[in-house]
């Protein structure tokens, strides 16, 4: 399990956002989120606030951003709230889940059923970041 703050990647973060529900690290082309322990993440209480702030900071609707959720804590996502995300004006280039436990990997498979963007599940933060960078680089070269 690797926190962003304890990783070699932290020095490349453009900005850090701290909320009562988690910490989020902004990079060129991707965001890494670490929700707090035992959260039940919903669109109305958490995700909408975060997405609106990210859209303002990146100055677009998210279509050029990959979101990586670094599951260093155990928390739940209300899967049906993905519908609210897709019904909003926001988008994302890709979505990655970094899971460190067998249960987390199983949960990511369930969440995948609700994801319309490019999706990958990883067991290391480094692999997820490399994937996010490859999506960003391929978009720039097209």
Q: How does pLDDT run across 51-109, given as a tens digit for each residue?
A: 999 988 888 877 889 999 999 998 888 878 888 888 888 888 999 999 998 888 777 87
Instruction: Specify whether the CB–CB gap between 25 and 4 falls below 8 A.
Output: yes
- We report the CATH number of the domain holding residue 100 as 3.30.750
More confident residue, 116 or 49: 49
Q: Phi first, then psi: what are they for 104, rounded to 5°?
A: -65, -40
Give the span between the Cα atoms of 49 and 6, in whole angstroms.
26
DSSP 15: E
Please give the residue range of the domain that contains residue 29: 4-141
Any idea what the Cα angle at residue 38 is, between residues 35 and 43, rounded to 5°? 55
33-42, 82-91, 106-115, range with the lowest pLDDT: 106-115
Give the span between the Cα atoms of 74 and 57, in whole angstroms.
28
Total of domains in the chain: 1
């Amino acid at each position: 399990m690797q926190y962003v703050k304890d990783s070699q990647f932290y020095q490349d973060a453009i900005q850090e956002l701290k909320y009562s529900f988690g910490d989020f690290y902004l990079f060129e082309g991707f965001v890494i989120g670490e929700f707090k322990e035992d959260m039940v993440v919903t669109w109305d209480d958490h995700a909408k606030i975060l997405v609106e702030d990210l859209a303002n900071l990146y100055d677009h609707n998210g279509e050029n951003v990959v979101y990586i959720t670094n599951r260093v804590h155990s928390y739940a996502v209300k899967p049906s709230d993905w519908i609210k995300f897709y019904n909003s004006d926001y988008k994302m280039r890709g979505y990655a889940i970094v899971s460190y436990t067998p249960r987390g990997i199983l949960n990511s498979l369930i969440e995948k059923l609700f994801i319309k963007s490019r999706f990958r599940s990883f067991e290391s933060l480094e692999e997820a970041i490399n994937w996010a960078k490859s999506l960003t680089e391929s978009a720039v070269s097209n």
